[in-house]
Amino acid sequence: MLSKTDHCNIYNGKPYNYFGDYLRSKYGFRIFKLPINAFLGCPNRINGHGCIFCSESGSASPSIGNHESIYKQMQNAKISFNRTSVKTRYIAYFQAYTNTAGNMDTLKKLYDEALSFPDVMGLMIGTRPDEINPEIADLIAEYNCPDFELWVELGMQSAHDRSLDYLNRMHNFNQTRDSIILLADRGIQVSVHIILGIPGESWDDMMQTADTISSLPVSGVKIHHLHVLKNTPLYSMYANGEVKLLDFKSYISILADFIERLRKDITIHRIAGDALEDVLVAPKWGLEKGTVQQRLIDEFNRRFTWQGFLYKD
């Protein structure tokens, strides 16, 4: 039984398994993700007009330039991150849009270019569950080797098909589950993107999503609150009074409940949505990343709980 003095030191001083801490503990040096836009686009924008929450730039980082080469994008990101002489290595992070939407030769060329960048020791590929198949999984698995961080980040969003329909995801949960298993069976670490506060989802629904994640071979979770960005379908719905967002206190409580149900080995890659101030409509509390992190830690301390506290094998 953990004492009150050591329960928050389970994961390098935090009550949850933060991805950055996991990397530093495993490798002993600083590791940054260098965001990449391969300009592959998203098939859902063509076939279904896109997800209601997605902005024009997709999930692209603000540091990504306008149609610059992958190598140049990584150089720019490295310069913006490196403010000290501390030893640093990098993960090539294909972040924007759907980074498995292409033929095998094109994808391999893109991944190889990113991995040619100096001091890269990992590859992370963001994509949709319906854009994974055995051929793509086999290609990605070719990059797996010791002391190399190989990840695929899947836009799961929810374990409930009605929520995926609401978000206009144009895929179902069975496709997510099948993709997770397909990738994990090949030794590829899978991180799933989750949105808390989807209209129509109850507390029980969100906790069921957490339990479902823990039952699958998932290695990481990126958690967002539902937020509204300019020039999105969600913005129009919000302006018309059709969408109610979580307030800060409610989100912190639900977030802690959610993480308590995740297996202890699952790494937490993010605990709140990320957006630029000039495109974010609501809620504005999402701009204060440090405050969100500290309030979550405070909530775990108040409860005397931690990640995995309510996980049932």
Tens digit of each residue's pLDDT (9 = 90 or more) over 32-52: 999 999 999 998 887 767 899
The CATH number of domain 7-303, selected from 3.90.1170.50, 3.50.30.30, 3.20.20.70, 3.30.750.200: 3.30.750.200
Is this model's pTM higher than 0.85 or not?
yes
pLDDT given at position 61 = 53
User: Which residues have a Cβ under 8 Å from the Cβ of 135 and sit 6 or more positions away?
Assistant: 104
Half-sphere exposure of 57 toward its Cβ, with a 13 Å CA cutoff?
17
SS3 292: helix
d(CA 274, CA 277): 9
Using a pLDDT cut of 70, give the percent of the chain over it: 92
CA 25 to CA 33: how far, in whole Å?
Answer: 16
Q: Looking at residue 150, what is its pLDDT?
A: 98
Check residue 57 and give its pLDDT: 60
Confidence of residue 58 (pLDDT cuts 50, 70, 90): low
The pLDDT value recorded for residue 4 is 47
130 HSE (CA, 13 A, CB side) = 11
Task: Please tell me whether residue 234 adopts helix, strand or coil conformation.
Answer: helix
Distant-in-sequence, close-in-space partners of 196: CB < 8 Å, separation ≥ 6: 206, 223, 224, 225, 226, 246, 251, 254, 255, 258
Tokens 């797996």 -> residue: 144
Residues 6+ apart with CB under 8 A from 79: none
At 123-174, the pLDDT tens digits run 999 999 999 999 999 999 999 999 999 999 999 999 999 999 999 999 999 9
- Residues 93-104 have pLDDT tens digits of 999 999 999 999
Of 188, 201, 180, the C-alpha closest to 258 is 201
CA–CA gap between residue 288 and residue 291 (Å, rounded): 5
Q: For the residues 75-91, what does the mean pLDDT come to?
A: 86
> In Å, what is the CA distance from 14 to each residue of 30, 260, 288?
18, 13, 19
Q: What is the mean pLDDT of the chain?
A: 92
Q: What is the mean pLDDT of residues 54-76?
A: 74
Closest CA to 236 of 52, 57, 59, 58: 52
pLDDT in tens, 281-306: 999 998 988 999 999 999 999 999 99
Is the Cβ–Cβ distance between 94 and 38 less than 8 Å?
Answer: yes
